[in-house]
Copies of this chain bind each other. A is one copy, B any other.
């Protein structure tokens, strides 16, 4: 891995390009101040690719994504492309990347920065210090299973069907990621399903248990029903370290957990694939927020989720933990000064632009590196 580190940047649409610009600045900073070099390429995705290249993701860009050590993705979509068919929507660019890179594990941290504890709709005592990682299976389950479809039964009656399917291999590979993550964090995994009423959930529980017994006995494993988990995230989210769950439950629970923090403009995510012969996983990193076309181009967007997505890439794709820590610390320190972009503005704080927020984070990094 040493020697070359390659990144493909796909800024996308809306606020994507302006937050990605701040990522470039941190990459430059690492080269200048830390002697850490990246080979950076950039490509089009989403509406930007539709406009320039006729499709939301070209084969050439896909090949670049496959060749890169990590992909950084901004955001896609906007009213300009709303009328297009399913395969020509900007979102199809992201779906194609996930599918072709076989990114089966979605990592969704829900972390509360001390300075933003009041942004949550939950009481400060409940969410202070919150740091949960949800690992969501991303390429299987009911969103992809066959048979599926809507059938006409006659007499004005129709029937809609979807199929939830999981195999041992699919469960093991995502559970493995959860256990490995837990080892670098609080060493606890909570596996979530509905094994009391779904056989696919029962299989999930049994296979996670078997894998745990065989290879991860040092990690504390618990099991929880998905409805109980949706309750416990509200009641006492601090009890969780890593949660691993299927595509559908992960979809619901990761969004619920994200909202506990009160500030989606702060949250990064990662999607990981299988390790190659060198143990290196395909990976795509992106902010949880969308393209926010209403504020695009106005230097108003919060660049932090995008910067922290780079932070996740530094950590998981490049083992650059010091640089990831520094970035998170810099963000923390700047928030503590009271500087806020509009999306996280609070009474008594100072409202700032995208570029001022990024400038300040870079100056803070200078201090931390000094």
> Looking at the complex, which one of B123, B167, B234 makes contact with A260 (CB distance below 8 Å)?
B234
Within the assembled complex, what's the spacing in Å between the Cα atoms of A232 and B169?
34
> Looking at the complex, which one of B142, B160, B249 makes contact with A203 (CB distance below 8 Å)?
B160
Contact check, B200 vs A227: say whether CB atoms are below 8 A apart.
no
> Looking at the complex, which one of B143, B159, B166, B234 makes contact with A198 (CB distance below 8 Å)?
B143
Is residue A222 within 8 Å, beta carbon to beta carbon, of the partner chain?
no
Contact check, A258 vs B231: say whether CB atoms are below 8 A apart.
yes
Contact check, A199 vs B160: say whether CB atoms are below 8 A apart.
yes
Within the assembled complex, what's the spacing in Å between the Cα atoms of A43 and B143?
44
Within the assembled complex, what's the spacing in Å between the Cα atoms of A126 and B149?
39
Within the assembled complex, what's the spacing in Å between the Cα atoms of A248 and B142?
12
> Looking at the complex, which one of B150, B168, B259 makes contact with A158 (CB distance below 8 Å)?
B168
Oligomer copy total:
2
Contact check, B227 vs A251: say whether CB atoms are below 8 A apart.
yes
**Majority-rule SS of A interface residues:** helix
> Looking at the complex, which one of B142, B200, B227, B259 makes contact with A252 (CB distance below 8 Å)?
B227
Within the assembled complex, what's the spacing in Å between the Cα atoms of A302 and B148?
46
Is residue A26 within 8 Å, beta carbon to beta carbon, of the partner chain?
no
Contact check, B162 vs A164: say whether CB atoms are below 8 A apart.
yes
Within the assembled complex, what's the spacing in Å between the Cα atoms of A165 and B163?
9
A228-285 contacts to B, CB under 8 A, are 228, 230-236, 248-249, 251-256, 258-260, 262
Contact check, B150 vs A203: say whether CB atoms are below 8 A apart.
yes
Is residue A74 within 8 Å, beta carbon to beta carbon, of the partner chain?
no
Q: A122-B122, A228-B255, A230-B253 are in contact. Are A157 and B169 (CB under 8 A)?
A: yes
Contact check, B197 vs A161: say whether CB atoms are below 8 A apart.
no
Is residue A71 within 8 Å, beta carbon to beta carbon, of the partner chain?
no
Within the assembled complex, what's the spacing in Å between the Cα atoms of A165 and B147?
11
Contact check, A255 vs B230: say whether CB atoms are below 8 A apart.
yes
Is residue A323 within 8 Å, beta carbon to beta carbon, of the partner chain?
no
> Looking at the complex, which one of B160, B200, B258 makes contact with A201 (CB distance below 8 Å)?
B160
Report B-chain residues with C-beta under 8 Å of the C-beta of A163: 161-164
Report B-chain residues with C-beta under 8 Å of the C-beta of A158: 167-168, 203, 207
> Looking at the complex, which one of B157, B194, B227, B235 makes contact with A167 (CB distance below 8 Å)?
B157
Residue-wise, chain A 194-221 has the 8 Å CB interface mask toward B (1 for contact) of 1001111111100100000000000000
What residue in chain B is nearest A165 (Cβ atoms)?
B161
Report B-chain residues with C-beta under 8 Å of the C-beta of A123: 121-123
Which of A121, A203, A249, A255 gathers the greatest number of chain B CB atoms within 10 Å? A121
Contact check, A202 vs B150: say whether CB atoms are below 8 A apart.
yes
- Complex A-B: 27 CB contacts under 8 Å: A121-B123, A121-B126, A121-B235, A142-B164, A142-B198, A150-B202, A150-B203, A157-B168, A157-B169, A159-B168, A160-B200, A161-B164, A161-B199, A161-B200, A162-B163, A162-B198, A164-B164, A227-B252, A228-B255, A230-B252, A230-B253, A230-B256, A233-B256, A234-B234, A235-B259, A248-B248, A249-B252
Given A153-B167, A230-B252, output 14 extra A-B contacts at Cβ < 8 Å.
Answer: A121-B123, A122-B234, A157-B168, A158-B203, A158-B207, A159-B165, A160-B198, A161-B164, A162-B201, A226-B251, A227-B251, A230-B256, A234-B256, A235-B259
